[in-house]
A = this chain, B = another copy of it.
Amino acid sequence: MGGSESQVVAGVDVGGTNIGVGLVNADHDVTAEAEVSTPTDGPQAVAAAVASLIASLDQKPGAIGLGVPGPVSDGVLLTAPNLAGFTEPVRLGDFVAERTGVPVVLGNDASLGAVGEWVAGAGRGSRFLLGVWMGTGIGGGLVLDGRPYDGAFGGAGEFGHMIVQRGGALCGCGRRGCVEAYAGRRAMEREAEVAIAAGVTTDLPQIMRDAGKDRLTSKVWKAAYEAHDPLATTILDQAVDALGVAIGSAVNLLDLDRIVVGGGLPEKFGQDLADRIAEAAEPWILAPSSHREVVVADLGDHSGIVGAAHVARSAPVRSP
């Protein structure tokens, strides 16, 4: 354990749209937070924005955990397709450490989100946890045998690109049949557009306008589902079915004890969605267990910040 166990630590969640920073105490409570839009001019600009956010908080943290949207190996962010200007592998943590004078631990955002839920959210008490993050795409993070798991080259947790149907729906990654091609919001939206263009009867566009939205947000899906809109119901059912298959495969391989589903749709739908996913997964699981649970994430936007702070707090002491 590090020297910052009792100190306040900062957790940072660098996303494609926003950067969120929180101060997190030893009880995993977020005691202060701040947010800015993510700069689009590359790593140094992002590091500067993170440093300013941290300086804006009322306390200097003893360590910083920095979550980034890409694979991280040995302190290097390897790729970050959602961050503008990140064209090559970069030691983003070092940039932030240099600007703040505080030691930084770099990690993948989806993995850190799973860690956050594990230490302080819906994953507490689990030792074999998969976090499934339903957003534009489907992300994932793992805690295996009681330890955060990043894999051999920092790329573990790509649950969204487990194959549920070889030759199936086209995924944003260019492959066919990934679970993300059925359960990612971008894929679901595309499916709805194609159906609407083909003349399928649906109130989705009207429900979207009534909700004051210009795209199919989780709120719109929830409203359409509650209104028993047949297209929305079909697409949501397909998403749930695909998640069930992929979770079945993951459980057969890893014998998990907890699956935490987070992101827009689970937040809106609540435990009902988790229950439906559990039901869809059940037939695929070779060794069902009543001790295995599918639950909705607890920490909302804070999963990643709390997880990042935890790994920073737990890291061996090192100089910035």
Residues of B within 8 A of A157 (CB): 253, 255
Tell me if B163 and A249 are in contact (CB < 8 A).
yes
Which A230-258 residues sit within 8 Å CB-CB of chain B?
Answer: 241-242, 245-246, 248-250, 252-257
**Min C-beta distance of A254 to chain B, whole Å:** 6
Tell me if B257 and A158 are in contact (CB < 8 A).
no
Main secondary structure of the interface of A (DSSP, over half): loop
**Min C-beta distance of A20 to chain B, whole Å:** 26
Tell me if B255 and A150 are in contact (CB < 8 A).
yes
Instruction: Count contacts on A: residues with CB < 8 A to the other chain.
Output: 51
Question: Of all chain B residues, which has the CB nearest A158?
Answer: B252
Q: How far does the alpha carbon of A153 sit from the alpha carbon of B283 in the complex, in Å?
A: 18
Q: Give which listed residue, B71, B158, B248, B286, contacts A253 with CB less than 8 A.
A: B158
Tell me if A127 and B155 are in contact (CB < 8 A).
no
**Min C-beta distance of A145 to chain B, whole Å:** 7
Residues of B within 8 A of A164 (CB): 163, 166
Tell me if A161 and B252 are in contact (CB < 8 A).
yes
A122-163 interface bits toward B, Cβ cutoff 8 Å, 1 = contact, 0 = none: 000001100000000000101011010111111111110111
Q: How far does the alpha carbon of A245 sit from the alpha carbon of B246 in the complex, in Å?
A: 13
Residues of B within 8 A of A167 (CB): 165
Question: Of all chain B residues, which has the CB nearest A179?
Answer: B249
Q: How far does the alpha carbon of A249 sit from the alpha carbon of B248 in the complex, in Å?
A: 12
Residues of B within 8 A of A286 (CB): 155, 158, 161, 173
